[in-house]
Amino acid sequence: MSQTQFIGLFPIPVVRVSGLLDEDLIQSIVARTDATQQKEINAYSEGLSHSPIKGTDGDDLLARVGDLVMPSVVQFGEVLFGEALNWQIKEIWSNVLETGGRQAVHTHANSFISGVVYLTASHPSANIVFHKSLGGTDYIFSNHNKNAAVNAYNGSKWAMPEIVPGDLVLFPSYLLHEVPVNKGPRRMSVAFNAIPDRLDNLGYSVRFS
Ligand SMILES: [Fe+2]
């Protein structure tokens, strides 16, 4: 009896941790973001703003978020690099996405693990979308049409199915992602970038700070 086995080579990990932030912490960050936080408008969408991008020093609320996400960051890093490394939150900020706002496709430079913690529900239209590739300078062939079934091998993008306040999503910082136009109410989140203190490749090591 023959057996056919499909093997997914070199998959990209994306993690969702549900219910990481409790309601008190969520409401504290939401209240501050609404009331007092300095906002910077996104370059591509007036409906998207964020707080200044900085470390957790001197910010008790974001430091608490950093502490809560760290075990998941270390676990995710162990998947990426095969070792439980010493990670730090390099920068962290809060986002406000108004109705009609969007976030253009981008990656996070100078970082290894990026994450988003959701402070509100996300309307399905504004769930984060990950892209496999936007193409380069080579011609591309594909077979995307109404008769073709999309699967993990031929698909070019993937949207997070559901987001609940308090959820954490982690992804490698090189992974292209976007937030399409928000057709729902205001959506708020905290995003961050994390780096390990070192990587060692058979003695060729590099340190980060
Ligand atoms: Fe991002």
CA 208 to chain centre: 21
CA of 122 to the centre of ligand 1 (A): 15
* Whole-angstrom distance, CA of residue 189 vs CA of residue 103: 13
Backbone phi and psi for residue 198, each to the nearest 5 degrees, phi listed first: -160, 155
* Whole-angstrom distance, CA of residue 160 vs CA of residue 165: 14
Q: Map tokens 């306040």 to a residue.
A: 165
What is the pLDDT, as a whole number, of residue 147? 97
What is the pLDDT, as a whole number, of residue 122? 95
The CA–CA distances, whole Å, from 163 to 84, 90, 116, 166, 173 equal 28, 24, 11, 9, 20
CA of 169 to the centre of ligand 1 (A): 11
CA of 144 to the centre of ligand 1 (A): 27
Share of the chain above pLDDT 90, in %: 84
CA of 105 to the centre of ligand 1 (A): 8
Q: How is residue 84 written in tokens?
A: 């439980």
Question: Given a cut of 90, is residue 34 above it in pLDDT?
Answer: no
Domain 15-199 has CATH 2.60.120.620: yes
Question: Given a cut of 80, is residue 38 above it in pLDDT?
Answer: no
Spell out the domain ranges in the chain. 15-199
CA of 40 to the centre of ligand 1 (A): 15
CA of 108 to the centre of ligand 1 (A): 6
Max alpha carbon distance in the chain (Å)?
A: 68
Q: Could you tell me if 97 and 48 are in contact, meaning their C-beta atoms sit under 8 angstroms apart?
A: yes
* Residue 128 falls in which region: left (phi positive, over 0), alpha (psi -120 to 50) or beta: beta
Question: Given a cut of 90, is residue 12 above it in pLDDT?
Answer: yes
CA of 43 to the centre of ligand 1 (A): 13
Query: Which value, to the nearest 10 degrees, does the dihedral of the CA atoms of residues 32, 182, 73, 63 take?
Result: -10
CA of 208 to the centre of ligand 1 (A): 21
What is the pLDDT, as a whole number, of residue 35? 74
What is the pLDDT, as a whole number, of residue 133? 86
What is the pLDDT, as a whole number, of residue 44? 85
CA of 203 to the centre of ligand 1 (A): 32
If you average pLDDT over every residue of the chain, what do you get? 94
Q: Could you tell me if 121 and 31 are in contact, meaning their C-beta atoms sit under 8 angstroms apart?
A: no
What is the pLDDT, as a whole number, of residue 39? 81
CA of 148 to the centre of ligand 1 (A): 30
Q: Could you tell me if 186 and 121 are in contact, meaning their C-beta atoms sit under 8 angstroms apart?
A: no
Question: Given a cut of 90, is residue 127 above it in pLDDT?
Answer: yes
CA of 197 to the centre of ligand 1 (A): 22
Question: Given a cut of 80, is residue 22 above it in pLDDT?
Answer: yes
What is the pLDDT, as a whole number, of residue 131? 97
Mean pLDDT of 130-151: 92
pLDDT tens, residue by residue, 59-115: 999 999 999 999 999 999 999 999 999 999 999 999 999 999 999 999 999 999 999
CA of 107 to the centre of ligand 1 (A): 6
Q: Map tokens 């970082």 to a residue.
A: 111
